[in-house]
Amino acid sequence: MATRARAGAKAGMTLGVRHSPNRSNGEVPFIGLDVGYGYTKIVFEDGQRIIYPSLVAPVAVTSIDLGLSLSKSAVQVEGADYVVGEEAVQAGWRFREQYDGWWTSPTFKALVAFAARHVPEGAHVFTGLPLHVYASAAAQTQVAEVVRKGLRTNQVTVFPQGVGAFFAAIAAHPGSEEGRNAFVDIGMRTTEFVGMSNRQFLSDLSCGKVLGVTELFARVAESLTHQHERTIDPYEVDLAIQGLRPIKVQGDNLAQKVIDETIEPLLKPFAERILSEMSRLWGPGAPSFDRVIFCGGGALILKPYLSGFRGRVEFLRDSQYANACGYLHFGRWVYQRTITSNAVHHSQSEQDRQGESIQDEDMLRVGGTL
């Protein structure tokens, strides 16, 4: 216990704020929150998961109110109304900003406000930032502040995104943290490349790139728009490919085959760009790493073309939730919560061993608790 308490304090000290964790009665709910550029993912300790597209459309004050304000997707942020998630795909206009620093935008705040419907007040929220902006202390403080305010909590811990995958891997495969692991988290807008040696984050062998699968959906949407003379949104393509909602043209569903045939030739060249980033960072085949592990929703669609990187690569189960699950797992681990679902039950000795390792290797420096 003492080790964990010290470890928690060290995490706080990373950002100069001492945090006093309240785990003795286990009453503070822990939440893993991954606000991705494409999808927002929330995971709970009982294994429940929530996902929605990271889409936000303002409800114009001048528009004729056809009940939008009563929509179950509507939220209010700083006095303005927004619709969030799938409903925003259909909105006449929506925010399309995808830039570093978007966590101070109305879009990000509306996504967090939407999450607040599901997250109990006062929860400890474990969340993340893309690797290429994580180094900025200002970014960490800003995102923590927005989450704290939006979710009405005082406890927010911010991680670099790809590191969430590391904790998810440990949860899924106890012991897998041993040795050298390379993680590739392929998202909608960004791809994170994370090198870990045991529990140590290798900053020289990690980087984040603005390189995500939204590029593919945008190209397919453009091509279908030309063919069908109706503006087709990249998200419509995305949802159709996942089999969640067909694209409608003149009231009829566009054949899945047409969408599949349009995206298929784009997949391999795109995957090759990711593989070449990996080779540049870690050398061809990443010879100094014991494991190469792909995750993120983008890994699902690119899977057939990623395996050629070397003899054996791995794909995390629940790939799209890897970060959110990993953040949550980290929280349970540090604060000695019993892990009850979709992960592992550590014996006490195993927990102690892990606690000592964290203490020894100073792993917690990658996570700042505000």
Ligand X SMILES: Nc1ncnc2c1ncn2[C@@H]1O[C@H](COP(=O)(O)OP(=O)(O)OP(=O)(O)O)[C@@H](O)[C@H]1O
Contact flag: residue 162 with Mg ion (CB under 5 A): no
Using the minimum distance from each CB to Mg ion, give the nearer residue, 35 or 74: 35
Q: Which does 171 bind (CB under 5 to 8 A by kind): Mg ion, ligand X, none?
A: none
Of residues 187, 355, 367, 368, which one binds Mg ion by CB under 5 A?
187
Q: The tokens 């994580």 sit on which residue?
A: 134
Using the minimum distance from each CB to Mg ion, give the nearer residue, 282 or 327: 327
In the bound state, the residue with its beta carbon closest to Mg ion is 187
Write down the least CB distance from residue 261 to ligand X, Å.
16
Write down the least CB distance from residue 238 to ligand X, Å.
5
Write down the least CB distance from residue 285 to ligand X, Å.
25
CA neighbor of 27 nearest in space, from 345, 337, 341, 368: 337
Contacts 24+ apart (CB under 8 A), 136-142: 137/15, 139/101, 139/103, 140/15, 140/368, 140/370, 141/15, 141/370, 142/101, 142/103, 142/104
Write down the least CB distance from residue 192 to ligand X, Å.
7
Q: Is 344 exposed, middle or buried (0-12, 13-18, 19+ CB in 10 A)?
A: middle
Using the minimum distance from each CB to Mg ion, give the nearer residue, 184 or 358: 184
Q: Which does 37 bind (CB under 5 to 8 A by kind): ligand X, Mg ion, none?
A: ligand X
The amino acid that residue 213 corresponds to is: V
DSSP 153-194: -SEEEEEEHHHHHHHHHHHHSTTTTSSEEEEEEE-SS-EEEE
CA neighbor of 28 nearest in space, from 37, 19, 36: 19
Contact flag: residue 36 with Mg ion (CB under 5 A): yes
Q: Which does 128 bind (CB under 5 to 8 A by kind): ligand X, Mg ion, none?
A: none
Interface positions with ligand X (CB under 6 A): 36-39, 187-190, 212-213, 238, 241-242, 296-298, 300-301, 320
Contact flag: residue 298 with Mg ion (CB under 5 A): no
Q: Which helix (H) or strand (E) holds 124?
A: strand 124-129
Using the minimum distance from each CB to Mg ion, give the nearer residue, 12 or 195: 195
Is the CB of residue 263 less than 8 Å from the CB of residue 220? yes
The dihedrals phi and psi of 294, each to the nearest 5 degrees, come to -95, 145
Write down the least CB distance from residue 183 to Mg ion, Å.
12
Write down the least CB distance from residue 214 to ligand X, Å.
7
Using the minimum distance from each CB to Mg ion, give the nearer residue, 103 or 335: 103
Question: Candidates 143-151, 182-190, 238-246, 285-293 — which segment interacts with Mg ion by CB under 5 A?
Answer: 182-190
The amino acid that residue 328 corresponds to is: L
Structure tokens at 199: 């529990």
Exposure string over 151-189, b if 16+ CB within 10 A, otherwise e: bebebbbbbbbbbbbbbbbbbbeeebbeebbbbbbbbbb
Is the CB of residue 50 less than 8 Å from the CB of residue 41? yes
Using the minimum distance from each CB to Mg ion, give the nearer residue, 161 or 342: 161
Using the minimum distance from each CB to Mg ion, give the nearer residue, 36 or 58: 36
Using the minimum distance from each CB to ligand X, give the nearer residue, 8 or 297: 297
Is the CB of residue 57 less than 8 Å from the CB of residue 80? no
Q: Which does 58 bind (CB under 5 to 8 A by kind): Mg ion, ligand X, none?
A: none
Structure tokens at 162: 């790809």
Write down the least CB distance from residue 342 to ligand X, Å.
17
Q: Which does 369 bind (CB under 5 to 8 A by kind): ligand X, Mg ion, none?
A: none
Total residues contacting Mg ion (rule CB under 5 A)? Answer: 2
Binding residues vs Mg ion (CB under 5 A)? 36, 187
